[in-house]
Amino acid sequence: MAVRTITTLGAPILRQVAQPVDLTTVASPTFQNLLHDMVETMIAAQGIGLAAPQINVSLQVAIINGQAGPYAIINPRLQKSSRQTELAEEGCLSIPDVFGTVRRPARVTVTYDDEQGRPQSTAATGLLARVMQHEIDHLNGVLFIDKVQQITQGQLP
């Protein structure tokens, strides 16, 4: 296991749609190592979420640092989003030292496969809903600065 280098703004992979994960590969040591490395990298960087393109891997997988600890969301899909929105401050490990307010749906339902390839569904609100949307955006090549209303700290390069 290893802490991997986090890609930063300007890296083309951050703007690409990541490849779907083939669920027959989820149990493989290579894929499980990837998940472990993503967890280690996220914790070392003190993040609350990390998407695979942020460590230069084009796969539809992200780690969410939930209340019960980190877990993987594989091939996540936003199934439902509330009409009600919330404005809150976000940052991104790939855009260091820049923070800004982003308006997002307050409640979302996300379906995904877990680290054993089993289908899951989560209804999320608050910070969890925000982190999930931020990470799913990464898997589609979208960054929070694309949606930012106001930069509150730092400066875009």
Question: What values do phi and psi take at 136, rounded to 5?
Answer: -65, -40
* H/E stretch holding 90: strand 85-92
Give the pair of three-digit tokens for residue 121: 């569904």
DSSP string, 30-67: HHHHHHHHHHHHHHHTT-SEEEGGGGT--BSEEEEEET
Active-site option among 40, 90, 115, 135: 135
Active site residue 86: no
Residue 92 CB, shortest distance to Zn ion, in Å, is: 3
Q: Which residue type, as a one-letter code, is found at position 102?
A: V
Minimum distance from residue 115 beta carbon to Zn ion (Å): 20
Beta carbon nearer to Zn ion, 35 or 48: 48
Q: Of 26 and 52, which has the nearer Cβ to Zn ion? A: 52
Q: What is the dihedral of CA 117, 59, 15, 10, to 10 degrees?
A: 120
- Nearest to Zn ion of 31, 49 (CB atom): 49
CB 132, min distance to Zn ion, A:
12
C-beta closer to Zn ion: residue 96 or 119: 96
DSSP secondary structure string for all residues of 98-145: EEEEEEEESEEEEEEE-TTS-EEEEEEEHHHHHHHHHHHHHHTT--GG
- Would you tell me which residues interact with Zn ion (CB under 5 A)? 92
Q: What is the rounded CA–CA span in Å between residue 17 and residue 141?
A: 5
Closest CB 16 distance from Zn ion, rounded Å: 15
Residues marked as catalytic: 135
